[in-house]
Structure 1
């Protein structure tokens, strides 16, 4: 597994080794021991999530706060997404900065997002199935978010002039500055 640092502190892109031949390909999508050796830290994932979305759907920017924060390992099983994470840790040197990357079933890259980050994605393909491992259980009462088009964050979503399809909840999140849990 190849681990690449990002401009955000503690956030990494992982590229698993892929073995291809005339039959197709094989990759080990997750190995706890190798993962921890590559990141240099212990992470225990306790929940796996999957979502199916259509082209132009934008989910996020979501996070959980307090004792319910989650680290995530994101990958795409089908299609392509623009994946974005924002550092919400006030004591971090990259507080308030974002990182954006295309994850797809063809590039097989994964993104490790540590606790204390907001996360969201935009579907670039006709359909996408996104999976992510979490190191803490989801807790509805600790759920929050930041509006995807926050002017201060100024995330360049790959919308190509389109209006994204967002849930009512995602359309009503406060801005980064208005977020009461930061």
Structure 2
């Protein structure tokens, strides 16, 4: 397993070792003993989306905050983490990475970060582990096109498909964190 730290403290990329031969391939997608963060995952989630779907930027607040380990099983996404820790030196900064079924990369998004992804291929399967259970009352988010964050989602504006809920998210400055 190769670990690459991002410019955002606590957020890192994992590249698992893939073993392949004529039969196919094998990789260890998670091993608690080798994982470089002190987390205990309690829930796995999975979504299937078409090209243009943008999910995010989401996070849970307070005692319900979640760390996530995200990956793509089929297809491709642009995955984005935004530091929303008020006292962080990198508050409001983001990190983005292409995750796909070929590169097998994973992104660890620690607590205190908003997370989102733009789907770049039809029928993409996106999977992630969470270290805390979802709580509807603790959900929050940031609008995907906040000019202060300035994320290039690698999609044209007319390609982006948002949920009604995500269309109403505030910008980062409007949040009380």
Range class of TM-score, shorter chain: over 0.9
Are 2:134 and 1:148 equivalent residues in the alignment?
no
**Mapping 1:26-37, distance limit 5 Å:** 26-35=26-35
Once the two structures are overlaid, the 10-residue window that deviates more, 127-136 or 153-162, is: 153-162
Q: TM-score, normalised by structure 1?
A: 0.95
Question: Given the alignment, which residue of 164, 169, 172 partners 1:173?
Answer: 169
**Mapping 1:51-62, distance limit 5 Å:** 51-62=47-58
Q: TM-score, normalised by structure 2?
A: 0.97
**Displacement after TM superposition at 1:91 (Å):** 1.8
Q: Is the 8 A contact 1:9 1:93 kept in 2?
A: no
**Displacement after TM superposition at 1:161 (Å):** 5.3
Are 2:6 and 1:10 equivalent residues in the alignment?
no
* Residue of structure 1 in register with 2:38 after alignment: 42
* Residue of structure 2 in register with 1:107 after alignment: 103
Q: For structure 1, list consecutive stretches of 5 or more residues without a partner in the other structure.
A: none
Alpha carbon RMSD of aligned pairs, Å? Answer: 0.9
Runs of 4 or more, structure 1, over 2 Å off, are: 160-163
Question: Given the alignment, which residue of 141, 155, 158 partners 1:162?
Answer: 158
* Residue of structure 2 in register with 1:126 after alignment: 122
Q: For structure 2, list consecutive stretches of 5 or more residues without a partner in the other structure.
A: none
CA distance in 2, matches of 1:124, 1:163: 10
SS of the counterpart of 2:132? coil
